[in-house]
Amino acid sequence: MSALQDAALWHEPPTPEQTRRHQLHAGLRLLARNRLALIGGGISLVFVLIGIAGIVIIGFDRFHDLYLDQTLDSAVILRAPFTGENVLGTDALGRDLLARTVAGIGVSIMLALAITALTLILGMVLGTVAAFYGGWIDVVISAVIDVTWGFPIILLAVALSGVFDRGIEVVILSVPLILWAGFARIVRGEGLSLRERDFVKAARAMGVPDWKIILRHFVPNLIAPTIVMGTYYIPVVIVFEGALSFLGLGTQPPTPSLGLMAAEGRQHLLNGDHWVVTVPGVSLVLMVVGFNTLGDGLRDILDPRLRGVR
Amino acid sequence: MPEAPPLLEVHNLSKRFPIRRDILGRPTSWLSAVDEVSFTIRHGETFSIVGETGCGKSTLGQLIIRLQPADTGSVLFDGEAVFSSSRHHLGQLRQRMQLVFQDPFSSLNPRMKVGAIVSEGTHRLRLGRAERRRRTQEVLEMVGLAHSYAARYPHELSGGQRQRVAIARALAANPEFLILDEPVSALDVSIQSQVLNLLHDLQQELTLTYLFISHDLAVVRHISDRVGVMYLGKLVETADRDELFGNPLHPYTQALLSAIPRPQARGQHRDRISLEGEALSPIDPPRQCRFASRCFRAIDRCWTEVPPTELQKPEHDAACFNIAPPTDSNGGSVMRE
Amino acid sequence: MTAGATLLRLLDLTVDLATEEGEVRPVDGVSLSVAAGEILGLVGESGCGKTMTALAIMRLLPEPGSRTTGAVQLTDRDLLALPEADMRRVRGPSISMIFQEPMTSLDPVFTIGHQLTETMRAHHKIGRHEARNRAIGILEQVGIPNPAQRLNDYPHQLSGGMRQRVMIAIALILEPQLLIADEPTTALDVTIQAQILELIDDLRQRSNMSVLLISHDLAVVGQVAERVAVMYAGEVVETMPTTTLFAAPRHPYTQGLLRCIPGLAHHTGEDETRLHVIEGRVPELRNLPPACRFAPRCPYAKDRCWNERPQLEKVADEHHLRCWNPQPFHA
Ligand SMILES: Nc1ncnc2c1ncn2[C@@H]1O[C@H](COP(=O)(O)OP(=O)(O)OP(=O)(O)O)[C@@H](O)[C@H]1O
Ligand SMILES: Nc1ncnc2c1ncn2[C@@H]1O[C@H](COP(=O)(O)OP(=O)(O)OP(=O)(O)O)[C@@H](O)[C@H]1O
Ligand code: SF4
Ligand SMILES: [Mg+2]
Ligand SMILES: [Mg+2]
């Protein structure tokens, strides 16, 4: 009798190791087939790494000079890229553009991550609570979602900037205060169908407390939409921060911000010193395109149903 | 079976779902899913509910353990009122009654390992970590799964194994009473018999009482001690298994039994009672016998009154105005062969 | 058997599917024949390739992504060799199919009258009025009361049993020579199921149509089929007259399936409380046993069953078997 003839061998489903290997392969294959996700992921990863470098630059006093050091020495200001010791040239105040751009990317990404996290937490909590408890709780939360959803963020930002001092907190507050509604709506929808799933009913029938049901059965099953929506919100926040700063409502000088840098550089465009605008501008566009592409790719892989929801 | 005391007593249980609402949100239309259902299950027996799809079997099961609130009626479990008990007390009752769902694919959380799923069932027992692990292993063994399965995810199991996990989760709480909602309907016949045998063995070992919900008459006939037949929310007939299959009194039961496809070649079949007419809609049903529109023995009275459930013989209830034993060409005689 | 000449003959029909994990072969060397006016039952458990076989006959498998080899002969034509344009004329007038999911194969946005008349007008040059009359006629034939009014109903306004009847009506309206019915009653209640089976048998008798009746339920097939083919893991393991299926099947799998059915013990006087069990489970297509695919679950497997692939061979008149160690059946 050969080893194959052991009937028990055939009666077993695949072992966890086998399926995990299999899943890893399937996942990699999916990723490989989905070029979008791969390219977007690559670009995003590069920017995240640059962003970390940027935060380091801002964080350490020793590097401070790199992006704040102003020399009004006319020999150093508005130096074109690749002409001197500053690889990407200098701005109108003689500051190193590479260092400022790297720091600006750091600020953008840090803000984007924090704000996205806040948005997701708000949406997740309110969405699951509405779906799980239903009844009047759901009615109230749904009404708030409806009112909030689609409200122009810029309007809220302008209103808030009137109340508070202009500054970055305006950005922080207005974005999640509006964006959570879209995510909460998705979470609520998923939650409503989860609530009717038999495994949730089974947990309720066994008397498992509500918070445990939400933590064990709801949250893990909401990870896919969370990741997808998260990668959507990051570029939205980046663009928004850029736009606000460009308008002078967001990040205040001398903190480096890509939008602000572009705004400051505008007056030099006419003189032909375009790099002051193009270096931060192109970085911003590339970063946004990268995250957006990653978001689209992840959506196709993780949760095709979210197509067109946003 | 010797007369055992009742474990579960269900009285006049009813449930309606609001279907349509007016602009103020007040319901204008109701779907009657369970209507004035009463029955008793004795200690250690298997009581089956059979009926066609949508007749309210699952709703009935969920009403009993208060997974959905009932509109009217009461349930006594071991003498204690389930509906009026406090939240805390309900928790204790729920530990003694467990529910197994129809679909082993949707009743297990795909993101939890088998060990975690089963140990969720021990939740009420307030065990320590180590004890919970031991209990999980113990029940997995009871349902015939090696403890290495605790580390697997549901998608790494076959259909029959998943249903075993669902049964293990229910057993983990150490219950006395299991509501089995179509536990084998999603399984292939070769797997179905494995699970039915398991249920039978567990009942012997642990002296369990079953409420077995199914639409499959062959399975019901195999596993039950007593059987209740449901039609559109109504329990139309209740009797001992052999009495019901051998001597059905309600015309619906007679038609149902005559329609079972049996493992026989064509031509060897007895006459089937064919039901003409459309089934009544369960939405706002009129006050009449709900089966009248398809009944081959309907009389005038069936269209204007609701037939009450009456004792027709000892231990044999039926709700019908025109009770008659099965004739030779249909139902009974063949079922007795 | 009284039936006439062979209408459909499958020769070594094999389907290869490209999947994420590489190629699989859900149908492997299936050879079957259906005579004119005959009902052939095709039974087997979930995933054994019944639907794939049907779709291969209809040439409705996804392209690209699948490869069908062997032959599908309808009278004297090989359907696999036909250009797609000709094949389109075969679907409907020659072969039509009732699909497994009745809810998804009716279009929810059109009335059933529209769906019936469109089917007719796609194949025949007939006027609106005549098409309507024929539609009413066919609905009447499948037992739908008030057919003229029902024509204006949308699928969701019908009950499950009625919807299944409409599906059958659409499949029959072109008066096909062969009807493929894939689990036509699985979603239905037993009382309705009995009616639908009777209807199919009735239509066959009236119009000498042939039927390939696919089901996982031996008892359902037994109601109407004259002959039965049993499939396991993509292969036909036994074909025989229905009377033989219930009285003297020879393949261990067929026998096991039959013994698993609850209720049989009542007839055979075995221990009533325990059911027969086929140990183990259906193998995965990606990981099939080396020779006989049933060997890991077979109580009668010998060394040969693991080493050499059994072929479908004739053991009696109309009785074919794929097994190295056939068993007498003690019912
Ligand atoms: N939450 C609900 N809201 C509205 N109607 C419901 C709800 N739950 C069930 N129903 C309806 O109540 C009736 C009974 O449903 P139930 O699920 O109890 O039937 P069942 O006998 O278990 O059917 P099946 O055999 O298909 O599982 C059905 O008509 C169903 O559509
Ligand atoms: N698109 C697909 N890609 C890969 N494998 C498939 C695909 N569709 C079906 N299969 C596999 O082909 C095999 C045969 O499937 P098929 O649908 O023919 O089974 P069946 O006998 O009709 O089963 P059921 O009774 O469940 O309908 C199964 O193992 C199935 O997993
Ligand atoms: S060939 Fe062998 S293993 Fe296969 S069914 Fe026959 S006896 Fe069993
Ligand atoms: Mg149900
Ligand atoms: Mg199929």
Q: How far apart are CA B11 and CA B77, in angstroms?
A: 11
| Total domain count, chain A | 1
Q: Is the CB of C327 under 6 A from ligand 3?
A: no
Q: Is the CB of B144 under 6 A from ligand 1?
A: no
Residue B336 has what pLDDT?
34
Does A70 reach chain B within 8 Å, measured CB to CB? no
Q: Is residue A112 part of a domain?
A: yes
- Residue of chain C whose Cα is closest to the Cα of A22: C21
Residue A128 has what pLDDT?
93
Q: Which residues of B127-141 are buried (b: 16+ CB within 10 A; e: fewer)?
A: beeeebbebbbebbe
Are residues B229 and B244 in contact, defined by beta-carbon separation less than 8 angstroms?
yes
Chain A: list its partners (3+ Cβ pairs within 8 Å).
Answer: B, C
How far B126 CA sits from the closest chain C CA (Å)? 36
- Strands C210-215 and C178-182 turn out to be parallel
pLDDT above 90 for C28: yes
Q: Name the residue with tokens 């105005």.
A: B321
pLDDT above 60 for C50: yes
Query: Average pLDDT for residues C260-275, to the nearest whole number?
Result: 65
Q: Is residue A252 part of a domain?
A: yes
Share of residues in chain C with pLDDT > 70 (%): 94
- Residue of chain A whose Cα is closest to the Cα of B151: A16
What phi, psi does C12 have (nearest 5°)?
Answer: 50, 40
Chain A positions touching B119 (Cβ under 8 A) are none
Q: Is residue A31 part of a domain?
A: no
pLDDT above 70 for A297: yes
More confident call, A169 vs C56: C56
| Range among A149-153, B46-50, C274-278 with highest mean pLDDT value | B46-50
Query: Average pLDDT for residues B70-99, to the nearest whole number?
Result: 89
Confidence of residue C236 (pLDDT cuts 50, 70, 90): very high
Confidence of residue B332 (pLDDT cuts 50, 70, 90): very low
How far A257 CA sits from the closest chain B CA (Å)? 41
- Angle (nearest 5°) at CA C168 between C165 and C173: 120
Query: Average pLDDT for residues A77-101, to the nearest whole number?
Result: 67
Residue A310 has what pLDDT?
41
Query: Average pLDDT for residues C111-117, to the nearest whole number?
Result: 89
pLDDT digit string, tens, across residues A132-142: 988 889 999 99
Q: Is the CB of C234 under 6 A from ligand 2?
A: no
pLDDT digit string, tens, across residues B96-155: 999 998 888 888 998 889 999 999 988 877 788 888 899 999 899 888 888 788 888 888
Q: Is residue A171 part of a domain?
A: yes
Residue A299 has what pLDDT?
76
Interface probe for C, chosen from B225, B262, B272, B334 (most Cβ of C below 10 Å), is B262
Confidence of residue B3 (pLDDT cuts 50, 70, 90): confident
How far B213 CA sits from the closest chain A CA (Å)? 16
Contact criterion met (CB < 8 Å) for A207 and B90: yes
Structure tokens at B7: 């474990």
More confident call, B154 vs A79: B154
DSSP B175-243: -SEEEEESTTTTS-HHHHHHHHHHHHHHHHHHT-EEEEEES-HHHHHHH-SEEEEEETTEEEEEEEHHH
Q: Which amino acid is at A77?
A: I
> ipTM of the assembly?
0.83
Residue nearest to atom 6 of ligand 3 (CA): C323
How far C212 CA sits from the closest chain A CA (Å)? 32
Chain B positions touching A205 (Cβ under 8 A) are 65, 67, 94, 98-99
Q: Is A308 exposed, middle or buried (0-12, 13-18, 19+ CB in 10 A)?
A: exposed
Interface size A-C, in CB pairs within 8 Å, comes to 33
| Range among A112-116, B10-14, B78-82, B254-258 with highest mean pLDDT value | B10-14
Chain C: list its partners (3+ Cβ pairs within 8 Å).
Answer: A, B
Contact criterion met (CB < 8 Å) for A4 and C21: no
Query: Average pLDDT for residues B2-9, to the nearest whole number?
Result: 84
Average pLDDT of the residues of chain B? 87
pLDDT digit string, tens, across residues B293-317: 999 999 999 999 999 998 888 899 9
DSSP A87-110: TT-B-TT--BHHHHHHHHHHHHHH
More confident call, C195 vs C303: C303
Bond from prior residue into A254 cis (ω within 30 degrees of 0): yes
Cα→Cα distances B81→B6, B44, B67, B182, Å: 14, 20, 15, 26
Contact criterion met (CB < 8 Å) for A199 and B108: yes
pTM, 2 dp: 0.82
Q: How far apart are CA A302 and CA A309, in angstroms?
A: 14
Q: How far apart are CA C324 and CA A56, in angstroms?
A: 74
pLDDT above 50 for C242: yes
- The rounded Cα A31 to chain-centroid distance in angstroms is 20
- Residue of chain B whose Cα is closest to the Cα of A197: B106
Q: Which amino acid is at C118?
A: E
Nearest to B158 among A13, A202, A208 (CB): A13
pLDDT above 90 for B35: yes
pLDDT above 90 for A148: no
Contact criterion met (CB < 8 Å) for C261 and B218: yes
Chain A positions touching C295 (Cβ under 8 A) are 5, 7
Structure tokens at C192: 């309705």
Q: Which of B19-33, C4-18, C29-43 has the lowest mean pLDDT?
A: B19-33
Contact criterion met (CB < 8 Å) for A198 and B152: no
pLDDT digit string, tens, across residues A171-222: 667 888 888 898 899 899 989 888 888 888 888 888 888 888 888 888 888 8
Half-sphere exposure of A42 (CA within 13 A, CB side): 7
Query: How far does residue B45's CA lie from ligand 1's centre (Å)?
Result: 26
Residue B45 has what pLDDT?
95
pLDDT above 90 for C253: yes
pLDDT above 70 for B328: no
**What is the CATH classification number for the domain harbouring A129?**
1.10.3720.10
Domain that holds residue A291: 100-306
pLDDT digit string, tens, across residues A1-28: 566 677 666 666 666 666 666 667 767 7
Confidence of residue B272 (pLDDT cuts 50, 70, 90): confident
Q: Is the CB of B54 under 6 A from ligand 1?
A: yes
DSSP C273-315: T------S-PPPTTS--SS-TTGGG-TT--HHHHHS----EEE
Q: Is residue A78 part of a domain?
A: no
How far C262 CA sits from the closest chain B CA (Å)? 6
All domains of chain C, ordered by start, with CATH? 6-232 (3.40.50.300), 248-331 (no CATH)
Q: Is residue A25 part of a domain?
A: no
Residue A298 has what pLDDT?
78
Any idea what DSSP says for residue B283?
B
- Residue of chain B whose Cα is closest to the Cα of C245: B265
pLDDT digit string, tens, across residues A217-246: 888 888 888 888 888 888 888 888 777 777
Q: Is the CB of B238 under 6 A from ligand 1?
A: no
Cα→Cα distances B272→C54, C194, C242, Å: 30, 8, 20
Closest-lying ligand 2 atom to the alpha carbon of residue C54: 18
pLDDT above 80 for A110: yes
Residue C179 has what pLDDT?
95
Cα→Cα distances A68→A94, A244, A257, A259, B83, Å: 9, 21, 12, 17, 72
Residue B331 has what pLDDT?
40
Neighbours of C47 (CB within 10 A): 17
More confident call, C150 vs C309: C309
pLDDT above 70 for B243: yes
How far C306 CA sits from the closest chain A CA (Å)? 7
186-245 of A, contacting B, C-beta below 8 A: 197-199, 201-208, 216-217, 220-221
pLDDT above 60 for B330: no
Interface probe for A, chosen from C306, C308, C309, C324 (most Cβ of A below 10 Å), is C306
Q: Is B251 exposed, middle or buried (0-12, 13-18, 19+ CB in 10 A)?
A: buried
Residue A8 has what pLDDT?
67
User: Strands (DSSP E) along A103-224, which ranges?
Assistant: none
Nearest to B120 among A208, A220, A221 (CB): A208
Query: Average pLDDT for residues B45-61, to the nearest whole number?
Result: 93
Contact criterion met (CB < 8 Å) for A7 and C283: no
pLDDT above 50 for C267: no
Q: How far apart are CA A246 and CA A224, in angstroms?
A: 34
Phi-psi region of C67 (alpha: psi -120 to 50; beta: other; left: phi over 0): beta
What phi, psi does C185 have (nearest 5°)?
Answer: -125, 5
Cα→Cα distances B113→A218, B118, B140, B157, B268, Å: 15, 9, 13, 11, 49
Residue A167 has what pLDDT?
63
Share of residues in chain A with pLDDT > 90 (%): 7
| Range among A301-305, B275-279, C223-227 with highest mean pLDDT value | C223-227
Contact criterion met (CB < 8 Å) for C282 and B188: yes
Chain C positions touching A5 (Cβ under 8 A) are 295, 301, 303, 306
Residue A140 has what pLDDT?
92
Chain B positions touching A143 (Cβ under 8 A) are none
Q: Is C207 exposed, middle or buried (0-12, 13-18, 19+ CB in 10 A)?
A: middle
Closest-lying ligand 2 atom to the alpha carbon of residue C45: 25
Q: Name the residue with tokens 């803000």.
A: A111
Residue A261 has what pLDDT?
74
Q: Is residue A79 part of a domain?
A: no
To test the ligand 3 pocket, which listed residue (C302, C304, C308) has its Cβ within 8 A of the most ligand atoms?
C302
Confidence of residue B334 (pLDDT cuts 50, 70, 90): very low
Q: Is residue A40 part of a domain?
A: no
